[in-house]
Amino acid sequence: MREPMTDELFVTDAYRHTFEAVVTDVDPEGRSVALNRTVFYPGGGGQPHDTGSLQWGDGRADVTRARRQEGRLWHSVADDQPLPSPGTEVSGTIDWDRRHLLMRTHTALHILCGVIWQDFRVAVTGGNMEPGTGRLDFELPEMSAELGRRLEQRINQEIQRARDIAVEFVDRAEADADPALIRTRANLIPAVIDPLRVIDIRGLDRQADGGTHVASTAEVGVVEVTGTQSKGRANKRVRIAVGDAQPQ
């Protein structure tokens, strides 16, 4: 019998931070529970997993991480806290401040990616983020502090343009025919994923992505390029930090 899949609510609604669900399975040794639906992002594409909590009846547990396994999302529970039984109805809440900062950071990295693609048409070779900070590596021939300053200016200009950001779903054949949609140097998205989820920063950047984003570039805040570095002959790194916009 096929195990029940988890309905991943964050795929279409990144702003939803509470939900109701039913426990479909429990792993006592792994201290984790699977749910029929969730807003917890399991991590991927450089974006860390969500944290938060589950509540049921007179029970409560902190969710320390989420992970995807064969179509189900497992929610790890702190060692000293109880596990709900299969069939239990639970209420879930993510750490919204952390998630929202990750959304702003992830979108800031896509803005950087869009600026680099428009100006240089080069692929991304790596990336990572934490709440408020991130980095991307590109196939650029050279890197300098001056280029970093120009990129910072360009990123903040795009933020100020308040570009709308939309989630779309594109047939895999169409995506494979468009080199701008799958921007990594090596196509790391398995061929069985069809359609592809695409994040479209209107007029700037459109690429396959499974993470969570804000709805407008204006929501990102202010971005600082905190460092530039050469990591090899054709691998140049740009580090950024995301801060709150100053009140007008």
Residue 114 in tokens: 């869009």
Q: SS3 helix, strand, coil % of the chain, rounded to 5?
A: 20, 40, 40
Measured CA angle at 160 (ends 219, 125), to 5 deg = 75
User: May I ask the CATH architecture of the domain 99-243?
Assistant: 2-Layer Sandwich (3.30)
Rounded average pLDDT over 89-95: 98
In this predicted structure, the answer to whether residue 157 has a pLDDT above a threshold of 60 is yes
In this predicted structure, the answer to whether residue 182 has a pLDDT above a threshold of 90 is no
Residue 231 pLDDT class (50, 70, 90 cuts): confident
| Domain ranges across the chain | 7-94, 99-243
- The answer to whether domain 7-94 and domain 99-243 are alike in fold is no
The model's pLDDT over 39-57, given as tens digits with 9 standing for 90+, comes to: 999 999 899 999 999 999 9
- Cα 89 to Cα 36, 42, 95, 107, 162: the distances in Å are 10, 21, 20, 34, 40
pTM of the predicted structure, to 2 decimals = 0.91
In this predicted structure, the answer to whether residue 179 has a pLDDT above a threshold of 70 is no
CATH number for the domain formed by residue range(s) 7-94:
2.40.30.130
Residue 186 pLDDT class (50, 70, 90 cuts): very low
In this predicted structure, the answer to whether residue 208 has a pLDDT above a threshold of 90 is no
